[in-house]
Amino acid sequence: MNEFSSAIGAALSMIVTFDAAIVEIVLLSLRVSLSAVAIASVVALPLGALIALQHFPGRRAVVILLNALMGLPPVVVGLMVYLLLSRAGPLGPMGLLFTPTAMVIAQSIIVLPIIAALSRQTIADLHEEYDEHLRSLGCTPIQSVATLLWDGRFRLLTAIMAGFGRAIAEVGAVIIVGGNIQHATRVMTTTIALETSKGNLALALGLGLILVTLALGVNATALVISDAARQRYG
């Protein structure tokens, strides 16, 4: 118990003094996960809108698949990306394995179905409500999509934040494709896993506290935003 409380004390002092090791790791985590979410959003938002608005054969199957992919195990994604990027893999010559880029690729794949599925649901619900009005106005497809995206902006932001929450907390994929290399690919989750097994509880706990704060903070912010939007715009 004594060891535990001294570890907490050490962890807190590392946080308040902006310990260089912690800052480096937190910044890399944010860089990787924010990039992954940004890249995934660029693909996932239009994809979600497309699936919500276009009728095509097999749409129902695509929707089911997309929702199922939200539960994609990060470890398996890590393995697939590892195989793609390893020396013998199809993208091996690019030399991306064990770089932050590899981690961004893996997290983008994990997050993409989450943002796409949630935004599809948001846009489909709004479309059902707005469809008659938009057709009465004679909106072009692009005008319709723009209207739906704008009116769904707060719920879409929530979808993006859900994706970020998943990416920042994920360990299985980044540890495989990043390799957890000090000063190169070490992020919060992989550091916690490593330092805990080494018995360095202070660093692990310090990062754990920051990670929990970030994850809870993102979720709380998403809730506050969507609540405020509902009160403001109905």
| Chain residues that interact with other proteins, rule: CB under 8 A | 129-130, 132-133, 135-139, 143, 147, 151, 229, 232-234
For 189, residues 6+ apart whose C-beta sits below 8 A from its C-beta are 29, 169, 170, 171, 174, 175, 211
- Give the shortest CB-144-to-other proteins separation in angstroms: 9
- Give the shortest CB-51-to-other proteins separation in angstroms: 22
170 sits in which H/E element: none
Q: Which is nearer to other proteins, 52 or 97 (CB)?
A: 52
Q: Which is nearer to other proteins, 143 or 182 (CB)?
A: 143
- Give the shortest CB-131-to-other proteins separation in angstroms: 9
**CA torsion through residues 25, 31, 36, 41, sign:** positive
Closest by CA to 209, choosing from 22, 20, 21, 3, is 22
Structure tokens of 30?
A: 């944010």
Q: Which is nearer to other proteins, 2 or 136 (CB)?
A: 136
Cα separation, 45 vs 89, whole angstroms: 30
Which of left, alpha, beta for 60 (phi over 0: left; psi -120 to 50: alpha)? alpha
- Give the shortest CB-161-to-other proteins separation in angstroms: 19
Cα separation, 10 vs 156, whole angstroms: 39
- Give the shortest CB-154-to-other proteins separation in angstroms: 8
Q: Which is nearer to other proteins, 129 or 227 (CB)?
A: 129
Q: Which is nearer to other proteins, 42 or 137 (CB)?
A: 137
Structure tokens of 27?
A: 């910044």
Q: Which is nearer to other proteins, 59 or 135 (CB)?
A: 135
- Give the shortest CB-136-to-other proteins separation in angstroms: 5
